[in-house]
Structure 1
């Protein structure tokens, strides 16, 4: 099955560029099939990674939480299963 992991964070005021660079610099223990990084208004950063997995709850590498001073709230994380 193909799983997509979503990681989304909102940067502290004026630190959007720094959060974006932080997300770009993260190295996972193994490479996903695909990775895309997005930005949005209000200094939000979204990272999507695609993985081949046996089950929906498979152990997969995920981006960590950035330092608390860099974000306004805890990171949001979701998993999605590809249906097409």
Structure 2
């Protein structure tokens, strides 16, 4: 079974590239099966990681909350379980 963790943040205006670089510098230990980073208008950054596990698997590493100088609001997090 595979579970995907989604992490989405909106950068302080004009700091989208800084937030993107910050996410790239954040290690996850252990490393996920797969990790992808996306960007969108309004300085949004989305990171999706894939793990071997189920929706309720405890202890999967997640990206931390960036400092308040980098984001305009709290990070949004979602967890999804594969159905395929």
Q: TM-score scaled to structure 1, two decimals?
A: 0.95
Q: Distance in 2 between matches of 1:49 and 1:68?
A: 23
Unaligned stretches of 5+ residues in structure 1? none
Matched residues, number: 83
**Structure 2 unaligned runs (5+)?**
none
C-alpha distance in 2, partners of 1:57/1:75?
20
Mapped partners of 2:12, 2:27: distance in 1: 22
Residue 30 of structure 2 aligns with which residue? 30
Scaled by the length of structure 2, what TM-score is found? Answer: 0.95
Query: Which 4+ stretches in 1 moved above 4 angstroms?
Result: none
Paired with 1:43 and 1:21, the residues of 2 have a C-alpha distance of 12
Q: How well do the aligned residues superpose, as a CA RMSD in angstroms?
A: 0.7
